[in-house]
Chains A and B, each alone.
Chain A
Amino acid sequence: MTSAGQLPDGTRLTGSSSFADYLAAAAPAQLPGAAQKLAGAASNGSGVDIAPHGTTIVAATYDGGVVMAGDRRATMGNLIANRDMQKVYPSDEFSVVGIAGSAGLAVELVRLFQVELEHYEKIEGAELSIDGKANRLAALIRGNLGLAMQGLAVVPMFAGFDRVAGRGRIFSYDVTGGKYEEHDFHSVGSGSVFARGALKKLYGAGMTEGDCVTAAVQALYDAADDDSATAGPDLTRRIFPVVYSVSADGHRRLDDAEVGAIADAVIGGRLQRPDGPQAPLG
Chain B
Amino acid sequence: MTQPFYVSPEQIMKDRADFARKGISRGRSVVVVQYADGIVFVAENPSQALHKVGEIYDRIGFAAVGRYNEFENLRIAGVRLADLRGYSYDRRDVTARALANAYAQTLGTIFSSAGEKPYEVELFVGEVADDPAHDQIYRLTYDGSAADVDGFGVMGGQIEQVEAYLTEHYTAGLDLAAAVQLAVTALGQDSDPARTVPAASLEVGILSRARSQPRKFKRLLDAEVEAALGA
A11 touches B80 (CB 8 A): yes
Name the prevailing secondary structure of the B interface residues: helix
- Is A3 in contact with B109, judged by CB distance below 8 angstroms? yes
A1 CB → nearest B CB, Å: 11
Q: Is A44 an interface residue (CB 8 A)?
A: no
Please give me the residue from chain A that is nearest to B50 by CB atom. Answer: A125
Option from A5, A7, A23, A122 in Cβ contact (under 8 Å) with B77: A7
**CB neighbours of A119 from chain B (8 A):** 79-80, 83
Residue among A7, A93, A123, A125 making CB contact with B81, cutoff 8 Å: A7
A7 near B87 with CB under 8 A, answer no
Q: How would residues 1 to 30 of chain A score, 1 for a CB under 8 Å from any chain B CB and 0 otherwise?
A: 001011110111010000100110011001
Contact between A12 and B101 (Cβ–Cβ < 8 Å)?
no
Least CB separation from B56: chain A residue: A122
Number of interface residues of B (CB under 8 A): 26
Q: Decide if B54 is an interface residue (CB 8 Å cutoff).
A: yes
If the complex has contacts A8-B81, A122-B56, A122-B79, are A115 and B103 also in contact, measured as CB distance less than 8 A?
no
- Chain A residue at minimal CB-CB distance from B88: A30
Contact with A along B93-104 (1 / 0, CB 8 A): 000000001110
Residue A112 at the chain B interface, CB threshold 8 Å: yes
Closest-CB distance, A104 to chain B (whole angstroms) = 16
Contact A26 B74 (CB under 8 A): no
Q: Is B13 interfacial (CB 8 A cutoff)?
A: no
Q: Residues of B contacting A93 with CB < 8 Å?
A: 213
Verify B79–A123 contact, CB threshold 8 A: yes
| Closest CB in chain B relative to A240 CB, distance in Å | 23
Is B185 an interface residue when CB atoms closer than 8 A count as contact? no
User: Of residues B51, B83, B86, which shows the largest number of chain A Cβ atoms within 10 Å of its Cβ?
Assistant: B83
A250 nearest in chain B by CB position = B213
Q: Mark B175-202, 1 if CB is under 8 A from A, else 0.
A: 0000000000000000000000000000
Indicate which residue in A6, A19, A125 contacts B51 across the interface (CB closer than 8 Å). A125
Interface: A270 (CB within 8 A): no
Q: Do A115 and B105 form a contact, CB below 8 Å, given A12-B77, A125-B51?
A: no
Q: Given the complex of chains A and B, what is the CA–CA distance between A71 and B76 in angstroms? A: 39
Pick the contact of B88 from A3, A5, A27 — CB < 8 Å? A27
A12/B74 in contact, CB under 8 A:
yes
What residues of A have a CB within 8 angstroms of the CB of B49 in the complex?
A: 125
List the A side residues contacting B51 at CB < 8 Å.
125
Interface residues of B in 47-84 (CB under 8 A from A): 49, 51, 54-56, 73-74, 76-81, 83-84
A115 to chain B, nearest CB (A): 5
Q: Closest chain A residue to B101 by CB distance?
A: A5
Q: Is B112's CB within 8 Å of the partner chain A?
A: no
Cα distance A41–B133 in the bound complex, in angstroms: 50
Q: A222 within 8 Å of B by Cβ?
A: no
A122 and B81 in contact, given A7-B106, A111-B87, A115-B86 (Cβ under 8 angstroms) = no
A21 to chain B, nearest CB (A): 11
The answer to whether the Cβ of A162 comes within 8 Å of any Cβ in the partner chain is no
Nearest chain A CB to B206 CB, angstrom units = 16
Contact residues in B for A115 (Cβ distance below 8 Å): 83, 86-87
A30 touching B105 by the CB < 8 A rule? no
Hey, which chain A residues are within 8 Å of B73, CB to CB? 12, 14
Residues of B at under 8 Å CB distance from A? Answer: 49, 51, 54-56, 73-74, 76-81, 83-84, 86-88, 101-103, 105-106, 109, 213, 215
Q: Which 5 A-B pairs have the closest CB atoms?
A: A11-B77, A6-B105, A5-B105, A11-B80, A12-B77
Question: 25 pairs across A/B with beta carbons < 8 Å?
Answer: A5-B105, A6-B102, A6-B105, A7-B78, A7-B103, A8-B81, A11-B80, A12-B73, A12-B74, A12-B76, A12-B106, A14-B73, A19-B83, A22-B80, A23-B84, A23-B87, A26-B80, A26-B84, A27-B84, A93-B213, A119-B83, A122-B54, A122-B83, A125-B49, A125-B51
Known contacts A6-B105, A27-B88; can you find 14 more A-B pairs with CB under 8 A?
A3-B109, A5-B102, A7-B77, A12-B106, A14-B76, A19-B87, A22-B80, A23-B84, A23-B87, A26-B80, A27-B84, A122-B54, A122-B56, A122-B79
